[in-house]
Structure 1
């Protein structure tokens, strides 16, 4: 299960708070920074251009990933250590009770993990260690290729948003100049209103789209690393390696301070 990301929440909160503080400390006319039509132009045009660049499913998946930035992928050191401990337990069960005992030991959470479920399916089908490594690695690489589309779409949105902000500004300037009729007093107010779309575009790109794209990429890299460890775990299960060897081999994926060591302590 994904954990709530307090760092992301703090980052967004600080960014928006500083943005609002800059406005509040500089002017009493706060409402001039609110324009539904300007926001609709920037957000709607960015969404439309993304639909032209990618499929509807890819764009909707990327937007979903944007909202999921408030959650961490299950790849913390504690989570990885739990996998090491679990594979050592499975190794003992597999050597003593066979595949039937191994399958019955799975928790509901483990059964819902598609990569773990696939590994168990291959093991129960009688595949050898090298075949399990090949198939799971292909599965892992294919998943990586599919998921990179999310970050590509979000990065594309980060590029489009400021551009459409400038388009809105140009439209506003044209309208402002057309309606001036020699009234220079209206120039400042009209120019400020025209620049709001550029502001919205830059804010959306640099507070939401681009950071979300970076976090999606970080999550994918973390999951890829976790899956590499899981692949090695299933290979060790297929080879029916002893608990100490599995511990030492899988601990290589953990930083020294988080490594699983109870077997050595018992010795």
Structure 2
């Protein structure tokens, strides 16, 4: 679970609610017609703009933001190093036995096992990267549109409230409460846009960048394996995708080469590939 996302949205809503209760009567911030205008109008306009399937995919992706951890590029680098060792010991054909949750890594290993050319591997994996960016962009665009529509419908609700208020100017005592109700829809629209829709779109964009980095590591690692580079050369090429402080030490026999200034970095090697005959190499979750 991504606790940063969960903590962010809970703390944001909690602080706003606390400020409302500390400011006095919280009942004045509840207006059902205003919520209907903002929430219903935003959803209706979004459905009118994009396909229904894109909307459902967007909400599924939003759920993933809170339930799935970020992918770790260091783990992918470790996996590609293990695959490099396997290819040197047993040949490229052995990579066809790789089992992985990442369909891209599995496909790349199959291409290596089939002795595909460098250009074929590069083009295939680049197409995977481009299609992933396109799919994720359509999902992010749904929340960006909702983030734009919500304040607009909030303003629309305010105008409706002002019209109703001005129609009752003969009764001055109702002007103040009516004005408060009219402004609530603007509050609802701004709240949904700034606390929910736009932050989710931003988080999905960050996830896309992380996944693209992993796919680029797979692509460059496969090219290095194909050209029969030593696994230390593979590491040197792939380490550039990480900040220097996060690069993990790599062992060379009994010696250890540390390319990081402090030797820090992400721990663990999910999906470590084994070179034994009875154990298949495994990749990380993709």
TM-score range, shorter chain: 0.7 to 0.9
Q: Is the 8 A contact 1:155 1:210 kept in 2?
A: yes
Runs of 4+ in 1 over 6 A off after TM superposition: none
Q: Among residues 134, 141, 149, which one is paired with 1:145 in the alignment?
A: 134
Matched, 1:68 2:57: no
Q: Among residues 91, 100, 108, which one is paired with 1:119 in the alignment?
A: 108
Please state how far the C-alpha of 1:152 moved relative to its aligned partner: 1.7
Counterparts of 1:25-40 in structure 2, within 5 Å, are 25-27=22-24, 29-40=25-36
SS state at 2:83 partner: helix
TM-score (norm 1): 0.87
Counterpart for residue 263 of structure 2: none
Q: Among residues 230, 236, 241, which one is paired with 2:224 in the alignment?
A: 236
Counterpart for residue 11 of structure 2: 14
Greater mean deviation of Cα atoms: 66-75 or 48-57: 66-75
Unaligned runs of 5+ in 1: none
Counterpart for residue 197 of structure 1: 185
Q: Is the 8 A contact 2:37 2:153 kept in 1?
A: yes
Q: Is the 8 A contact 2:86 2:94 kept in 1?
A: yes
Please state how far the C-alpha of 1:199 moved relative to its aligned partner: 0.7
SS state at 1:252 partner: helix
Describe the shift of the 1:212–1:251 C-alpha distance in structure 2 as closer, same or farther (beyond 3 A): same
Describe the shift of the 1:146–1:41 C-alpha distance in structure 2 as closer, same or farther (beyond 3 A): same
- Output the CA distance in 1 between the equivalents of 2:169 and 2:86: 85
Describe the shift of the 1:82–1:131 C-alpha distance in structure 2 as closer, same or farther (beyond 3 A): same
Counterpart for residue 182 of structure 1: 170
Matched, 1:85 2:78: yes
Q: Is the 8 A contact 2:73 2:213 kept in 1?
A: no
Describe the shift of the 1:126–1:264 C-alpha distance in structure 2 as closer, same or farther (beyond 3 A): closer
Matched, 1:134 2:123: yes
Unaligned runs of 5+ in 2: 256-286
- Output the CA distance in 1 between the equivalents of 2:4 and 2:74: 22
Please state how far the C-alpha of 1:42 moved relative to its aligned partner: 0.8
Greater fraction of residues in helix = 1
TM-score (norm 2): 0.82
Q: Deviations over 1:113-161 (max 9, x none)?
A: 1221221232233212232112111221122122111222211111110
- Output the CA distance in 1 between the equivalents of 2:169 and 2:247: 74
- Output the CA distance in 1 between the equivalents of 2:252 and 2:60: 44
Q: Among residues 238, 249, 260, which one is paired with 1:261 in the alignment?
A: 249
Q: Is the 8 A contact 1:232 1:250 kept in 2?
A: yes
Q: Deviations over 1:203-261 (max 9, x none)?
A: 00011111111111111112112211110111122222222211222222222233233
